Amino acid sequence: MFIRLELGLAGRGLLDGAGQLYNVIITGHGILPDELIPLSILYSNILHYGPPSRNANTLEVSRDIQRNSPQRIIKPLTDHPYHTELGPYLAGFLEGDGTIYVPPRFRNDSGDILYCQISVAFDVRELVFAEYLMSKLGGTVENHGTYVRWVVTAFNELVFIANLINGHMRTPKIAALSRLINFLHLHYPLLPVDNLKPLDTSPIDSNAWLSGMWDADGGFVLTISKAKDMRLGGVDRVKIMAKIELTTEYKRGVDLTLSTSSYYPILRTIADYFKVRTGLIAVGK
């Protein structure tokens, strides 16, 4: 506005003919916005994300997060209402059928940042359940024809699920949760990820963990055996069996301070709960 008035007035103007001062004002008019705007952006980012870490990757990671979706950091899911048994149930479900993927390094050979994900594959007939999980916990559902995948990659959703199941794991897959937490702590130190809690050793019926595990890897079998010769008084036989199938060993490395690599202890706990003496059958895989 001052520059326009100076140019619009006849004669010596507001500056009384001080040409050097006019040049200084013009130069400052161009330089100050170039300096103040970046400082304003930097201060705004510090308010939202906190000061940068000494980790060499942090500043670039923060830029990557802001470029894709700032809400992934600053809008957690903790304000969403959920049942208190969702944590144990989801832990059992993910320990049965879920995959917690953690990349082996921060970048690939092309320099692109690699991301963690939590996923579950379902038979296509279970699409409704996959969509229900998506509605409650976020993520996306991918339809692959004969099967569908529920996939979670957004930071706020990963953090919410990790914190939700933390402390409710009962199998060697706690090692996968440990890798996820360690990776996020190392490369994304601003995320509110809880430290890893130990295995849940509470009674198996104290929460909904077994329901989640059973939905993933359990089932009921109904067998009807037809009588060979009804004329000899034979009768049909009906046999009902409940079973749960798990691999014998966790294939990835397990820190023995967290858990053993064998699934036998948790199967033994389930068998003891149902008072089954000879219900464990080892099947090589």
pLDDT in tens, 39-91: 444 434 433 333 334 344 444 444 444 434 434 433 444 455 677 889 999 99
Question: For 124-177, how does the pLDDT look when each residue is reduced to its tens digit (9 = 90+)?
Answer: 999 999 999 998 888 999 999 899 999 999 998 999 999 999 999 999 999 999
The answer to whether residue 262 scores a pLDDT higher than 70 is: yes
A 10 A CB-CB count for 277 gives: 7
DSSP state of 77: S
The answer to whether residue 99 scores a pLDDT higher than 80 is: yes
The single residue listed with the structure tokens 């895989």 is 285
pLDDT computed for residue 10 by the predictor: 52
- Provide the token pair at 33: 């916005």
In Å, how far are 78, 200, 249 from 207, measured between CA atoms?
Answer: 21, 10, 25
The answer to whether residue 17 scores a pLDDT higher than 60 is: no
Distance CA 212, CA 24 (A): 72
Distance CA 200, CA 171 (A): 9
Phi and psi angles of residue 248, each rounded to the nearest 5 degrees, phi first: -75, -35
Closest Cα to residue 99, out of 255, 275, 251?
A: 251
- Judged by DSSP in three states, 226 sits in coil
